[in-house]
Amino acid sequence: MSATLVSPKVFTSEFPTWCPSCGDFGVLRALQNAAAQLGLQPHDMVIVSGIGCSGKINSYFNCYGLHTLHGRALPVAQGVKLANPQLTVIASGGDGDGYGIGAGHFMHAVRRNVDVTYIVMDNQVYGLTKGQTSPTSPHGYSSTTTPGGSAEYPVRPLRVALANGVTWLAQGFSGDIKQLTALMVKAITHRGFSVLNVMSPCVTYRPSIADENGEKIGVFEWFRKHLVNLEAERDYRPTDRAAAFAQLMEHDDLVAGLIYEEDRPAYDGYLSGYTGRPMAELALPLDAGHLDQIAAQFR
Ligand SMILES: Cc1ncc(C[n+]2csc(CCOP(=O)(O)OP(=O)(O)O)c2C)c(N)n1
Ligand code: SF4
Ligand SMILES: [Mg+2]
């Protein structure tokens, strides 16, 4: 990590093709701010993303990038980090990517605790493919895949992470870039797997349903009104897992801020023989003779 002060503009790349006012613009801006505040340079970072509108973020952020398969950002990101621990590794994607097709990877990445920051742009729909019902869509959400309204209740990614031993967990809102930037700085600084779920509204495919007060849910104004800022709760201690669960239950997961953090060795701390040096710098004895020896073990 470089100590040189950098401007967020260093991380600007091509202009996003997201719809005007898409929540993902806020996530991109916050990540550029956070990288600059941490004194990172583009060559220090890699963003590994899944597939979706959200998955395009690495094309719009000037650093190394890997646009993987749908739901597969996490295994690739963990491999990148273990192969080159000197890189700051960000995994990113959407709610469909991370909590639907990639859900299995999610809970295992949580319990594995590799030093990767996972940023999920949760817009409660499949944005890229035109607004189908996603794992976090509200009950009753109607779309082409659930024309009569979704019979299912949404998955609870924050609770899944807590239940599986996450060592850093927060929720942000793309309408509050200041808080989101601060959360990203903390998430990247945390040694271990950090999960940052961001309520990042899709402005094109909005939930078609209203809450009990008749207010349209899932839009910027609704989140601004209903997210409970944990940082304003004077007695809240984010080091108590049971208290974190209680907050999520009490506020129906509509919280913003740091939910939980714990200081525990990351995955590589348990690997015997792991040098912590990039593989590319190791003198690996992989000449033809060694390869023959390895092959012989499988004959
Ligand atoms: C294996 C596979 N299945 C399905 C798709 C089609 N597909 C592309 S993006 C997407 C959903 C994206 O939703 P989400 O992850 O929430 O991202 P968003 O576009 O909302 O940011 C789907 C189903 C695909 N690309 N690959
Ligand atoms: S479809 Fe939705 S998520 Fe995708 S770019 Fe447009 S507003 Fe953003
Ligand atoms: Mg989505």
CA of 125 to the centre of ligand 1 (A): 10
Ligand 1 pocket mutation, candidates 92, 105, 129, 204, criterion most atoms within 8 A of CB:
129
| Domain carrying residue 234 | 8-296
**Tell me, what amino acid is at 279?**
M
Residue 61 forms part of a structural domain:
yes
Structure tokens at 38: 């941490």
**Atom 6 in ligand 2: which residue has the minimum CA distance?**
19
Number of domains the chain contains: 1
Cα dist from 58 to 17, 28, 41, 64, 93, whole Å: 12, 9, 15, 8, 10
In the chain, what is the greatest distance between 2 CA atoms, to the nearest angstrom? 73
Instruction: Output the average pLDDT for the chain.
Output: 95
Ion ligand 3 contact residues with beta carbon within 5 A? 94-96, 123, 127
What is the pTM (predicted TM-score) of this model? 0.95
CB distance 122 to ligand 2 below 6 Å: no
CA distance 160 to 143: 26
CB distance 100 to ligand 1 below 6 Å: no
Residue 77 forms part of a structural domain:
yes
| Atom of ligand 1 minimally distant from the CA of 121 | 21
Cβ-contact 125, 97 below 8 angstroms: no
CB distance 157 to ligand 1 below 6 Å: no
Kindly indicate the confidence band of residue 42, based on its pLDDT and cuts at 50, 70 and 90.
very high
Residue 1 forms part of a structural domain:
no
Q: How many helices (H) and strands (E) does the chain have?
A: 9, 10
Q: Where residue 230 sits, what CATH number does that domain have?
A: 3.40.50.970
- Model pLDDT for residues 219-263, shown as the tens digit of each residue: 999 999 999 999 999 999 999 999 999 999 999 999 999 999 999
CA distance 246 to 37: 33
Residue 3 forms part of a structural domain:
no
- Model pLDDT for residues 173-216, shown as the tens digit of each residue: 999 999 999 999 999 999 999 999 999 999 999 766 889 999 99
Residue 2 forms part of a structural domain:
no
**Atom 4 in ligand 1: which residue has the minimum CA distance?**
70
